[in-house]
Amino acid sequence: MNDVNEAEGAAQDLTDIAASEDALTAFEWSLWRISAAFLRWQSECSSDLAGTGISGLETAVLHTIRYRQKPKGLSEICRLLGRDDTANVQYAIKKLQGLKMIERVKGRSRKDTLYIPTSAGEQLTQDYRRVRENLLVSMIQRIDRSDNNLQSTTEMLELLTSFYEAATRRVASSTLPAGHPSHS
């Protein structure tokens, strides 16, 4: 009888794992789609307002530099955006400088270089915010209790971000669990 109970428990565990796997897969597909849609939105909105092509990353970098009206350096921009691909962020900074959206301010050393938005960069972020408010905020407000839902979703995404970061560190340091397929 004990063997039957153990077999039923193992079968239930496999069913639970399969359900969690299916839910995570559906979540990841949605995450890919929302990421792509968000980057397209940023790029289209900023490009239209600026009259020139601006990518989603360049838009994010500009808004990050303007965030809290405080100059930002490369490492802080990367940290705030959760990016470790500094070369791509540096490219976005150079492009924004070329478009006269941001300017360099001297730090204590070359490594401490900081950036601030120019008046054109300030204007673009203000216009972006206005368009965002007119288009997206008005749509989101139609959702019942949207403020609470967005807060809960933000908290869940922050938690999931920490899970993905921990999994990334484990893969990068090859500390996957024993018996994992990649160790075979």
Q: What is the pTM of this model?
A: 0.79
Domain containing residue 67: CATH number? 1.10.10.10
pLDDT for res 46:
97
Q: How many folded domains does the chain comprise?
A: 1
User: Do the domain assignments include residue 156?
Assistant: no
Q: Which residues contact 119 (CB under 8 A, 6 or more apart)?
A: none
User: Do the domain assignments include residue 108?
Assistant: yes
pLDDT for res 49:
97
CA distance 42 to 129: 11
pLDDT for res 2:
66
pLDDT in tens, 96-144: 999 999 999 977 666 789 999 999 999 999 999 999 999 998 888 888 7
What Rg do the C-alpha atoms of the chain give, in angstroms?
22
CB 116 within 8 Å of CB 105 = yes
User: Do the domain assignments include residue 15?
Assistant: no
User: Do the domain assignments include residue 91?
Assistant: yes
Range of the domain at 62: 52-118
pLDDT in tens, 41-96: 999 999 999 999 999 999 999 999 999 999 999 999 999 999 999 999 999 999 99
User: Do the domain assignments include residue 92?
Assistant: yes
pLDDT at 184 over 80: no
Average pLDDT, the chain: 88
In whole angstroms, how far apart are CA 9 and each of 13, 15, 129, 139, 179?
A: 6, 10, 53, 46, 21
User: Do the domain assignments include residue 160?
Assistant: no
User: Do the domain assignments include residue 86?
Assistant: yes
pLDDT in tens, 9-24: 666 677 888 888 999 8
Q: Which helix (H) or strand (E) holds 150?
A: helix 146-172
Q: 150-168 burial by CB neighbour count: b if 16+ within 10 A, else e?
A: eeeeeeeeeeeeeeeeeee
Poorest-pLDDT segment among 3-7, 20-24, 92-96, 172-176: 3-7
User: Do the domain assignments include residue 170?
Assistant: no
